[in-house]
Amino acid sequence: MASMIRLKSKTSIRFFSTVVLTVVLGAALPGLPTGKAFAETNVRIGGMGGVLGTMRLMGDAFRKTEPGITVTVLPSLGSGGGIKALLEGAIDIAVSARPVTEAEKRRGAVEAGFSKSAFVFIRHDGQPATGLTQKQVADIYAGKTERWPDGTPVRLIMRPDDGSETKALLALSPEMNRAVRLALARKGMIYAMTDQETADRVEKLSGAFAPAFLPLVLTEKRRVRVLALDGVSPDVKSIADGSYPLVQQIRTVTGPSVSPAAKRFLQFLHSPAARKLLVKCGQVPED
């Protein structure tokens, strides 16, 4: 349903996010067992869509060491949606691209550093994968650049104004801040609600351009072109040494009580095997 809707206002975007969270949780959880036995044998994970592929791979690797525990990764809820689901008891671990708020801390949310990776710019796979400068990206958001060099119209895919990608772009530079705000205020823009929907649109729409999270592109084997920024390709090396400018920390968030199964999974996330897997997913492990 989401992929067929073009949301024109930030109010409607926030409302739609609430509806999606309600529908996903309502659809995903009632059929699952509950109670102490379930908590001891299942770990439910949700949150930012950009690392759900990573978490599925982690779950597969974890089950080889703990065959009695099932890891369930929910569809994308976003960072805020994941923390909300966590605090309502719908999931055991949230993955988030933003810090927990003071209000969330008062409700028992506890965050821990997990890894860091890169927000990247992606293009439709049918166009050449030429890199861009920050100025060129700003010109696209400001509406100054309307066509790619081959003449294809630029179709900018926007994310909600309160999303982690948009916040990262706003903080990149004063010029980018102005350009993104112009795009947010422009009518008729195409919005994608989740990381997965963003990639879906870029895969299908000729000339499409959008921000995305590198682990999503790698773990979901997305048919898109990842662009260098200011001559720097986004990879584990450029993320680790800080030469790539759009680096984002990823956190795990737990609630006031953590099940034994969830504790064992969190411990696994910092194991040597998990650290090797993170690198393959385009993420730099954090202790």
Encode pLDDT of 103-157 as tens digits: 999 999 999 999 999 999 999 987 666 799 999 999 999 999 999 998 999 999 9
| N- to C-terminal Cα separation, the chain | 39
Whether the predicted pLDDT of 192 surpasses 90: yes
The alpha carbon of 202 is separated from its chain's Cα centroid by a whole number of angstroms, namely 15
11 confidence band (pLDDT: 50, 70, 90): very low
Q: pTM of the predicted model, to two decimals? A: 0.84
The reported pLDDT for the residue numbered 39 is: 55
Residue 44, strand partner residues: 72
Q: What is the percent of the chain where pLDDT is above 70?
A: 85
Of 58, 44, 37, 56, give the one whose Cα is nearest residue 88.
44
12 confidence band (pLDDT: 50, 70, 90): very low
Of 169, 198, 196, give the one whose Cα is nearest residue 181.
169
Tell me the domains of the chain and their CATH numbers. Answer: 2-115+250-285 (3.40.190.10), 117-241 (3.40.190.10)
Average pLDDT over residues 8-26: 44
The reported pLDDT for the residue numbered 119 is: 95
CA distance 254 to 93: 5
* Mean model confidence pLDDT for the chain: 88
CA distance 180 to 177: 5
Of 208, 180, 207, 212, give the one whose Cα is nearest residue 196.
212
Average pLDDT over residues 15-27: 45
Q: Are 129 and 123 in contact (CB under 8 A)?
A: yes
The reported pLDDT for the residue numbered 130 is: 76
Q: Which two tokens stand for residue 203?
A: 């895969």
More confident residue, 287 or 56: 56
User: Long-range contacts made by residues 169-178, C-beta under 8 angstroms, separation at least 24?
Assistant: 169/119, 169/141, 169/211, 169/246, 172/134, 172/245, 172/246, 173/134, 173/138, 175/134, 175/135, 175/138, 176/134, 176/137, 176/138, 176/141, 178/138, 178/142
The reported pLDDT for the residue numbered 36 is: 52
Whether the predicted pLDDT of 242 surpasses 60: yes
Average pLDDT over residues 242-250: 95
CA distance 176 to 158: 14
6 confidence band (pLDDT: 50, 70, 90): very low
Of 84, 91, 29, 78, give the one whose Cα is nearest residue 261.
91
Average pLDDT over residues 221-230: 96
CA distance 211 to 199: 9
Q: Which two tokens stand for residue 170?
A: 């706003």
